[in-house]
Amino acid sequence: MKKILMLFSVGVLCVSFGFAQDEEKPFAEENLMKNIVSQIEKQYPAKNISLQDSVLQAVTNGDTDLLDDLKYDEKVLSFLPTLRDEKGNNVFHLAKDENVVQVLAFILRNADNKTGSTGVIKTLLEQANAKGQTPVFKALLDGKLNVYKMYGMFLDLPRNMKKAVSVQGAERAEARNEIAKHLKESSGQTLLDAARRALVREENKRMPQPEKLAALDWEIKALEEYANDLF
């Protein structure tokens, strides 16, 4: 019945909007249809999707409105720290952008209503997925530089990298221990390799973003300064 209703709605909407005229470009019709179907799907959302899956989708798609609506939901507070997808990614691995990260951090801080602790956030940022990638590593590999920098500042990654290559003895060892889990994945690919791959991927896009290319290039140069000692 739902499918029939959706098809009927598509027909009604198509008639009301009108198809593209013969002289219009073909992709105009395709875009119109996509917009219509998108609106119908919003009116008739998929059923039987769990709250956990809804949260994962919102995190991945950058739906901060939904996350904001759920930020005081006790069920969400209870499972968010242990929520994973099928590849072992936690919510910080999957966060689409810095706006999602901010909402997640707010929720996780409030999950501990006694102290508002940030300990759970640090724990999640240090967890590896099935490929041995922490959220820090994956954010850079995915080219999400703002997210990568947010994670790095929270974990004091820049300072510890500098200490790991510039000081000696116990202090150096301590700094390396703090960052070691973020420097490589299980296959041996380094954080520097991840940055280089992200740059190539951006360069190969149909419409690469100059500012992103420049930022990735700068990040690569920064990591190269530590390459001999860290990687």
13 — pLDDT class (breaks 50, 70, 90): very low
Virtual torsion, Cα 182, 186, 188, 189, nearest 10 deg? -60
The predicted model scores a pTM of: 0.78
Residues facing residue 184 across a β-bridge: 190
The stretch 116-142 carries a mean pLDDT of 93
35 — pLDDT class (breaks 50, 70, 90): low
**Exposed/middle/buried for residue 83 (C-beta within 10 Å: 0-12, 13-18, 19+):** middle
| Pairwise CA distance, residues 186 & 210, whole Å | 31
pLDDT at 4: 45
Backbone φ, ψ for residue 187 (5° rounding): -80, -10
Backbone φ, ψ for residue 190 (5° rounding): -95, 170
DSSP-assigned letters across all residues of 116-135: --SHHHHHHHT---TTS--H
**Exposed/middle/buried for residue 42 (C-beta within 10 Å: 0-12, 13-18, 19+):** exposed
Query: What percentage of the chain carries pLDDT values higher than 90?
Result: 71
Provide the token pair at 114.
């006694």
- Is 224:210 a contact under the CB 8 Å cutoff? no
Provide the token pair at 145.
């530089």
Is the pLDDT assigned to residue 9 strictly greater than 70?
A: no
Query: What percentage of the chain carries pLDDT values higher than 70?
Result: 77
Query: 12-16, 43-47, 80-84 — which one is most confidently predicted on average?
Result: 80-84
| Pairwise CA distance, residues 198 & 214, whole Å | 12
pLDDT at 8: 44
pLDDT at 22: 52
pLDDT tens digit string along 150-188?
999 999 999 999 999 999 999 999 999 999 999 999 999
* Closest by CA position to 10, among listed 37, 28, 31: 37
Is the pLDDT assigned to residue 3 strictly greater than 50?
A: no
Helices (H), the chain: 2-17, 26-43, 51-61, 64-69, 74-79, 91-94, 98-111, 119-125, 135-141, 145-154, 157-166, 169-183, 191-203, 210-224, 227-230
Chain CA centroid to CA 57, Å: 11
| Pairwise CA distance, residues 101 & 94, whole Å | 10
pLDDT at 169: 94
